[in-house]
Amino acid sequence: MNFPVSLYIALRYWRAKSADRFARLVTNLASSGIVLGVMALIIVLSVMNGLEKHQKQQVLSGIPHAVLMPQEGYLDLQAAQPSMPDFVRQAVPINSTNVILQTAQGVSAGHIIGVQKPSDDLILDYLTQQQLSELLPAGEFKILIGNRLADKLRLNIGDKVRLMITENSQYTPFGRVPTQRLFTVSDIYFSDNSEVSGYEIFANLSDIGRLMRIRPEQVQGYRLFLDDPFQITALPQFFSADKWKLEDWRSQKGEFFQAVRMEKNMMGLLISLIIIVAISNIITSLSLMVVDKQGEIAILQTQGLNKRQVRRIFILQGFLVGLVGTIIGTILGVLITLNLADIIELFGQRGIFLPTSLELGQIIVIVAFSLLLSLLSTIYPAYRAAKVEPAEALRYE
């Protein structure tokens, strides 16, 4: 197999042991630094991806990803459902509002949601349709409350609780009075998401409509559950702002996920500095080699090697250092990420849940970033090598 001359010489220089121990040390540090940087970047970003997905499942599972409502009036339940984009997994009719719960033991704020079927909310999937109909029959004003809220107000099944809607008050001779009604606790649900069980309440859809003075055949809008909660940014393209009003989970949890995303970006930036420092060592090692090999470069030029081929020798040599370091770092990073739980247990840390998620696109970007910097780092030393004049380099040989 015939190699190009530049590649053949670059391979010889790369494999040969330099007489200059310092130059050899700098080259080894450059290669090791790239391995560590690429490996650490893949591991850290995979862990951050896993944590972000885990939080997305835990935090966003108990709340609607978006609520679609008309700008004016209400929607007719008998009318055809608005056309939904493909990524909307489920659209559920909704009547919901913020309420104040009052009992003899205390007062608390909550959010009540009207439902018709267990599939209307993920929290209710433990119930059958018959069980839900028995717990929340229309016209009997019964509610399901979370265990945390029940503990806070010391409520048990069968207890009465007064619900007040401050947003829908009515005028009386004594002034504005919040709309209110007594509800009966028909059941207490338990949720893995303790935050949701502390404020979310369920009632029959028509009962909430009556409380909010909405006709039985009408609803406020639709709760939308998406395949990916982060696809909410695409919803305004399908629903005109002149006709529809959109509210999404970002109003409640947006700051939390922005903080997670910012943390991931900062961690990626900081660890990228390891790769940048390692790449700078390639410049140093190649510059030292240019000084060390001036005589050989001059001889090669007298044998017919042109300046472009000389530049290519050092570009290929530096790129080989970056390529090998990047490949080894990528392999180690993927292997460690896939076996991270077992590795953590080796250090005696048992029972620690650390989710990970490898993303191919992210790995490709890391590899491309490392190889691009490796290639750019060779430009200056290669330019210096091509400037060597044979007559000057061989004058005292």
Where along the chain do its domains lie?
5-57+257-393, 66-248
Strands 142-146 vs 175-189: parallel, antiparallel or unpaired:
parallel
Structure tokens at 236: 């305004």
* Low-confidence stretches of the chain (pLDDT beneath 70): 1-3, 5-6, 8, 10-24, 58-59, 61-63, 167-178, 192-194, 251-256, 291-295, 297, 301, 348-352, 388-397
Q: What is the pLDDT of residue 21?
A: 65
Q: What is the pLDDT of residue 80?
A: 78
Angle at 362 between CA 356 and CA 367, to 5 degrees: 120
What distance lies between CA 27 and its chain's CA centroid? Answer: 36
Contacts of 62 (CB under 8 A, 6+ apart): 121, 122, 123, 191, 193, 195, 196, 200
Q: Could you write out the DSSP letters of every residue in 358-373? A: --HHHHHHHHHHHHHH
Q: What is the pLDDT of residue 1?
A: 42
3-state secondary structure (DSSP) of residue 318: helix
Q: What is the pLDDT of residue 332?
A: 92
pLDDT in tens, 289-312: 776 666 676 777 677 777 777 778
Contacts of 343 (CB under 8 A, 6+ apart): 336
Structure tokens at 367: 């590899």
pLDDT in tens, 225-283: 888 777 777 888 888 778 888 877 776 666 667 777 787 788 888 878 878 877 777 77
Which residue in the block uniquely carries the two structure tokens 């004594």?
174
Contact 167, 96 (CB under 8 A): no
Q: For residues 298 and 57, what is the distance between their CA atoms, to the nearest angstrom?
A: 64
3-state secondary structure (DSSP) of residue 359: coil
pTM, to two decimals: 0.66
Neighbours of 151 (CB within 10 A): 12
